[in-house]
Structure formats: structure tokens, C-alpha cells
């Protein structure tokens, strides 16, 4: 059962708030969220039980305080929306959403792909030109794009990632045309006023690689560096691995630990070196660190794939927190192995 006390994660607190709102209002809130957020919150809501009145009261009090501090009715709603989205999602992810909300663009065709299983997306775009595939994957979230690429041939993965890294914005006419192609398959509506997008680039390619299976990630990056050493190095410099968390300051590590599950942390540390373990231990309470040490000693052998998956989940949280400015984390650079 997820912890629902004062140290519960932001997702668990949001789940408590939605359950408190009731079905009608909770459903209205979820309508404004993306597929990943809905899935994450839904899982958290399903996992909650035995939530005390004190916990509910604490979540509601925190929410009311946040509303009091942030509501800016009549003080420039557009700027307020922009600031809230940037703080919540970071500059990169917020940019496209801000464009769709404030610029009046409508991207239902491409947006529909975000709600589909990676295998289905791969099936839809697999026969398209690699440049089209690159634009579509640059538009999707990095973890979904990584899963889509896993269903494509190795040669296509390398080609597409190199094209994503080379993207430097997309002209409105090109994005509009692509969106209309996707739109016809899902709803038949037309789109208009699509603003020039900044999807793609080296950082996007690096984020997609970060979300791929470790063995696949290494193979694709090696191929890219063989084809274009300079581009491969630029992508590598934007990536980071679990050991890079050593560069996060203690306050950042403490914030990160509040957002990750105990099970993921345990699995991740099974494959970490002593320095990484000590970094984590010293940022926990004495009791919590002793319990974690005991759990690590008692935990039997685990599959390397499970360790890597847990580390990637923690890194995904770290990337989100870095994007929103909650923590500072460096790139992988020369530390890639």
C-alpha cells in the first residue's frame, strides 16, 4: 500500500485530492490531463486504502494554501497559465502545451497517438519516410517514443534518432500537413493555426535514448557515433545515468527520495556502487537508512533487467524534477559506459 502520511509523494497526494472531490469533479480534472498523467494517477488512486482523516485534511489544507498563493484572477490569466505550466512541466514540455492552449492551435491527430499503445503507433508509422517518423516521435513524450522505437528495426532506430537530433523546428505548413494525415485516421476534423514547433533536437534524441532498454540504448548510440561521431557525442553529452545522481546536492536527493517508491529504490541500489548507496543513506533518517541497509542485505539476487528498469524509473523522476527546477543534475558526458 502506498504511504499516505506526511511523506507521501506528490502523485499520492493528488490521488487523495481527486478521491476527495468525488466522481464528477475528479473526472472533469482528468479530462485536462495527458495519457501518462491519467494512468499514473489512476494507479495511485487504485492503490490507496486506509487513508486517515488527518491525511485527507492535510492534503486539502496543502491544496488550499497552494490555490491561495497562486491564483491570479484578473491579473493577466495568460501569463498565469504560462507560469504555472512552466513550473509544473519545465520549459521544454510546457512549450508545446502553451502553444496549443494560448495560440489556438488544435493537434488532435498527433495528440491521438499519445493515447495509443507503442506497438500500435509503430504499426501506423512504420511505412512512413524516416523523416516523418522522426517528427512524430519528436512530438511524442520521450518514454513513449523509446517504446515505439523498440518495435522498429535497429537500422531504422539509428536513422530516426539522428534525424530527431538534427531537427531544428518544424514549419507550420509541414506540421499542419502531418497533423491532417493523422487527423483523417482518427476523427476527420481539420486543424488550423498550427504554430511553428520546436520539437526535436539533440536533447530530445538524448531523452528518447535515456528511456530505451540499456542494451538497445548502447547499440543505437554506438551506431550513431560510427555514422556521425560529432552528433553522437553531442547526444551523449545530453544524457545521464544513475551514477550522475552523485552530482545532485543533498537537498535535491532528499526531494527525489520523497517522489520514488521504496521498492524501486531498493532494486536500483542493488546495482549501485558503494558511493551511490552512501549518498542515498546519508540523506535519509537514521531509522530509514538502517531499514534500507537491512533490506539490501536480505534481498536475494535480482535480474539485471529489473535493476536497470528501477534505475530508469528513478531517472525519469529526476529528469522531471530537473525540468521543473526542483533539482539540478548534470549530463552523462564522458561518464557513459
Say how many C-beta atoms besides its own lie within 10 A of residue 247's C-beta. Answer: 14
Q: What is the pLDDT of residues 284-310, one digit of tens each?
A: 999 999 999 999 988 888 888 888 888
CA–CA dist 140, 110 (Å, integer): 8
pLDDT confidence of 93, banded at 50, 70, 90? low
What pLDDT, on a 0 to 100 scale, did the predictor assign at position 5?
45
Residues 166-183 have a mean pLDDT of 69
Which pLDDT score, from 0 to 100, does residue 277 have?
92
- At 74, list the grid cell: 484578473
Domains and CATH numbers, the chain: 10-89 (no CATH), 106-237 (1.10.220.30), 242-335 (1.10.220.30)
pTM of the predicted model as reported, rounded to 2 decimal places: 0.47
CA 328 to chain centre: 16
Return the pLDDT at 2: 43
Helix crossing, 286-298 with 262-270: angle to 10°?
Answer: 60
- Residue 193's pLDDT band (boundaries 50, 70, 90)? very low
Query: Cell triple for residue 65?
Result: 494554501
Amino acid at each position: 500500500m502506498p504511504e499516505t502520511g506526511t511523506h507521501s509523494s506528490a502523485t499520492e497526494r493528488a490521488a487523495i485530492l481527486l478521491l476527495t472531490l468525488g466522481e464528477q469533479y475528479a473526472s472533469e480534472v482528468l479530462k485536462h490531463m495527458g495519457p501518462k498523467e491519467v494512468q499514473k494517477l489512476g494507479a495511485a488512486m487504485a492503490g490507496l486504502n486506509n487513508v486517515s482523516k488527518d491525511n485527507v485534511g492535510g492534503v486539502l489544507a496543502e491544496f488550499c494554501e497552494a490555490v491561495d498563493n497562486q491564483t491570479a484572477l484578473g491579473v493577466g490569466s495568460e501569463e498565469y497559465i504560462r507560469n504555472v505550466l512552466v513550473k509544473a512541466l519545465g520549459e521544454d514540455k510546457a512549450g508545446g502545451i502553451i502553444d496549443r492552449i494560448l495560440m489556438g492551435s488544435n493537434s488532435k491527430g498527433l495528440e491521438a497517438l499519445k493515447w495509443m499503445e507503442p506497438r500500435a503507433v509503430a504499426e501506423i508509422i512504420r511505412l512512413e519516410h524516416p523523416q516523418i517518423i522522426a517528427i512524430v516521435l519528436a512530438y511524442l513524450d520521450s518514454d513513449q517514443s523509446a517504446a515505439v522505437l523498440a518495435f522498429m528495426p535497429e537500422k531504422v532506430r539509428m536513422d530516426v534518432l539522428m534525424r530527431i537530433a538534427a531537427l531544428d523546428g518544424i514549419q507550420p505548413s509541414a506540421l499542419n500537413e502531418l497533423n491532417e494525415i493523422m487527423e483523417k485516421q482518427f476523427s476527420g476534423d481539420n486543424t488550423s493555426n498550427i504554430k511553428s514547433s520546436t520539437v526535436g533536437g539533440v536533447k530530445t534524441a538524448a531523452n528518447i535514448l535515456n528511456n530505451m532498454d540499456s542494451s538497445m540504448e548502447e547499440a543505437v548510440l554506438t551506431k550513431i557515433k560510427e555514422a556521425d561521431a560529432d552528433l553522437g557525442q553531442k547526444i551523449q553529452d545530453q544524457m545521464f545515468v544513475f551514477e550522475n545522481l552523485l552530482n545532485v546536492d543533498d537537498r535535491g536527493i532528499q526531494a527525489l527520495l520523497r517522489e520514488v517508491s521504496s521498492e524501486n529504490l531498493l532494486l536500483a541500489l542493488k546495482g549501485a556502487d558503494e558511493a551511490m548507496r552512501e549518498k542515498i543513506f546519508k540523506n535519509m533518517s537514521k531509522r530509514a537508512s538502517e531499514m534500507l541497509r537491512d533490506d539490501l542485505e536480505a534481498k536475494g539476487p535480482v535480474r539485471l533487467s529489473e535493476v536497470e528498469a528501477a534505475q530508469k524509473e528513478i531517472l525519469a523522476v529526476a529528469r522531471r524534477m530537473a525540468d521543473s527546477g526542483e533539482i539540478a543534475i548534470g549530463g552523462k558526458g564522458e561518464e557513459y559506459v
